[in-house]
Structure formats: C-alpha cells, structure tokens
Homo-oligomer: A and B are copies of this chain.
Amino acid sequence: MPKDMAQNTTIFTRRESEARSYCRGMNAVFTRASGSEMFDAEGNRYIDFLAGCSSLNYGHNDADMKAALVEHISADGIAHGLDFHSDTKAAFLSAYEEKILKPRGMDYKVMMTGPTGTNAVEAAIKLARKVTGRKNVISFTNGFHGMTMGALALTGNKGKRGGAGGGSLADVTHMPFEGALGDNVDSLEMIDAMLSNPSSGIDAPAAFIFEPIQGEGGLNAASDAWMQGIEKIARKHGALLIVDDIQAGCGRSGSFFSFEASGIKPDMVTQAKSLSGFGLPFAALLIAPEHDIWKPAEHNGTFRGNTHAFVTARVAIEKFWSDDKFEKSLAEKAVVLTTALKDVADLIDGATLKGRGLMQGVDVGSGELAGAICARAYELGLVIETSGAHDEIVKYLAPLTTSEEVMREGFDILLQATRDVTGNMKLAAE
C-alpha cells in the first residue's frame, strides 16, 4: 500500500525553507491524530513512535485535555495574557505545586520563559551567571540544549554548531559525559581534576548543565552515581547544578522528573516538550527560591505563559500524576519495551540497547543502517526516528499512554523493517 501518493506537497517545496527536515524522509501530509496514531490525507494510519520528540507523552488529542481546551476557548478564556495573572495560570500553578512539587519534597519557583526549550535553557544560564558572577558553564559531550546562541554554545553537535555561521559560541567548557571516554576513564575524576587544578585553564564554573538521559545525543542515560558525582563536584567548586529535563522529563524516564531516583537537588530544572500535555508550545524553568534574583522582566518574552497550555497542562497533571497508577504503568511498559528492543538488537551483530524507562533505543552501529530501518518502518506505517552523534540509534519515543497492544503492533513493524533492511544488506553483500 503506497503511502501519500497524490498528496500534494508542492506548496512545501515552493514556500517552506530548506531548514525543514522530518517531512523530507516521512513525507505524508498528516491531517489528524489520536492517541498513538496519526492519519494522513489519504486516510493511511501510522503508529507514532516519535510523539513529537517526546512532546506528546500523553498521546495526541487526549480526550480530557481536548474537552477542557475546547471549553476554555468556547468560553472566551484568555488566549494570550502576557504574564498577567489569570485563573488558568493559578490553576496550573496550584496543580503543579500540589501534585508535582509537594509529593517530591521540592521547593521551586516557576519561571514562565518563552515557550520553547531553548528559551528555558537560555534563562537558566543567564541566571546562573548572574547568581555566581562567573561566566563559564560546563556542558557535556553529546548534550543538546537548543539552537539559540546561548543554548547552542552548550550543545555538542557539530552540524548544529555550524549553523551559527561562525558567530561566537563562548563561555562554555565541554566535558565528557558519563562513559564518553570509554569504560576505563572516570569522567567525574577527570572533571574534578581539571577544576581542582588552578592551572588547568578551565575558569571556575557558574554552572553545570546536563540531561539525565541524552535525547538527541544518543539515549545516553547517566547513572545515579554519576549524577550524584556531578552534583558533588558542582557544590565543591561553587557552581550551580542545572538539569535539562526537557526531553527526559514529564514521565518519559519512568518518573515525572528523570533524576528523581538519584536524589540530586538541582538548583534549576528546565521543562518543555510534554509540559503542556497536549503538544502546545510551553516551557518553564524551575528555580530554587534562593537563586530567584531576577528583576521584573529581566528575561521576558511575548509568549511566556501560554494560557492554552496552562489549561491542558493542568489536566495532564491532575489526570496522570494525582496518584502512582500512571507511574506504575510506565514501569511495566518499560519492561515490555526493553524486551522488544532486545529482539530487534538480536537481529544485528553488535547492536546494543541504550537509554532507560520509556526512552530506549537500539544502537545498530551505523547511521546508515539506523536510517534505513526507520525509512523502511515508515513505509510499513510506523513513525520512528534515529538519534546519536552518528544517527546510529533507532529511538523509541512513543506516547507513554500507548497501549501494550499498539506497542506490540509497532514493534512488529520495527522487527519486520529490521529484517527487511538487514536481509537486503546481506543480499547486497553476497
């Protein structure tokens, strides 16, 4: 069944910038979506193992959020309110306080940054520099934090950095993430050694920023011990600890925050992607109260505090995080996921599993192979993407709400795609 035949895409090639990307390989014209399924203009169905890069952790068009949003809009609820007080913002903040912060013993101020992850990251590093009076921020190999200049300076990816066109990406030191130098090198020891040597040339850091599970960088999951080690080094050297939980947060790791099990207490946490619950643009920066030294509007933005997102985010919190049922379901699904990915890995020599929770994937050894598998899966009706420095990882990011039935349907496609591609490769090699 050939997908997207007769779907007219000339308007995109004619008018949309060359910067567009996902639509090149997966060129259906999508029209509607529900839960873990997407449909194109011809009615073809796709299982979604990408979920807006983890922006749709609760699936497409969740019925409860949809109802609340439609009701809000129909009643002339505020659509855009700058950072004015609103009933919807109050309700979101109250839910966030009651269901997210309090049960975890957390005390953070919530900063409504511009509604993109990169904006929350920019706010975090600006604030860390203000608080400490230092400039240097330490980020990590394979880290991805955004595409605006401040966040891009933190990001490791060479291609992304090249987009700066030679503009200065200064005031950042890139250090090896856990395991980045192989099993024999303890990156914690190395980092502490560099910072402890007064002649290392590494200026005293304002902050460390890392993703507990690196999303774009290849599903590298930091161990609890490593996160604790970074926290300890940060404290020792007078630096703030910033966790970028944009992709791994909101349940993706198995808990609301991806660092909960580690016991670390970040000074700041960035949130975006699935924070709205519905895929709406929304980001926030959690700030330990003692560091909340912003002057009014010192970092601002027109769309900070997306009111529609307040509505859906509140529903998402109340629906999924009022008790531990959802979290328990995630643990169960993670086991299913691991088992399924092992089956995929078994088809490929040397393939290994990466990640944790509902953020796992298979390192198939090359970007070429991973790309071919994802392309074949798409032909078979599964939306799935690669990640990693060499795009060598087939990454599972399906909605957390995906039923086991749909999960298995998707895995079957993935297995078939893998068999098709590896089979073809063997044939080609013979």
Contacts and interface: CB of A to CB of B under 8 A. Distances in A.
A300 interface: yes
A29 B87 contact: yes
Interface string A191-228: 00110011111111010000000000110000000000
A21 B83 contact: yes
Contact of A79 (B14, B87, B160, B279): B279
Interface stretch (A258-266, A301-309, A369-377, A408-416): A301-309
A199 B29 contact: no
A301 B93 contact: no
B294 A18 contact: yes
Contacts of A93: 11-12, 15-16
A301 B90 contact: no
A403 B7 CA distance: 43
A167 B150 contact: yes
A85 B182 contact: no
Chain A interface: which size bin? 35 or more
Contacts of A112: 16-17, 20
Interface in A149-166: 149-151, 153-166
Interface string A259-286: 0000000000000110000111100010
Interface string A321-364: 00000000000000000000000000000000000000000000
Interface string A4-41: 00011101101111111111101111111110001001
B12 A299 contact: no
A168 B80 contact: no
A22 B299 contact: no
Contacts of A272: 302
A131 to B, nearest CB: 8
Closest 10 pairs (CB-CB, A-B)? A80-B279, A129-B165, A149-B150, A174-B201, A17-B111, A130-B165, A199-B389, A21-B297, A156-B201, A148-B148
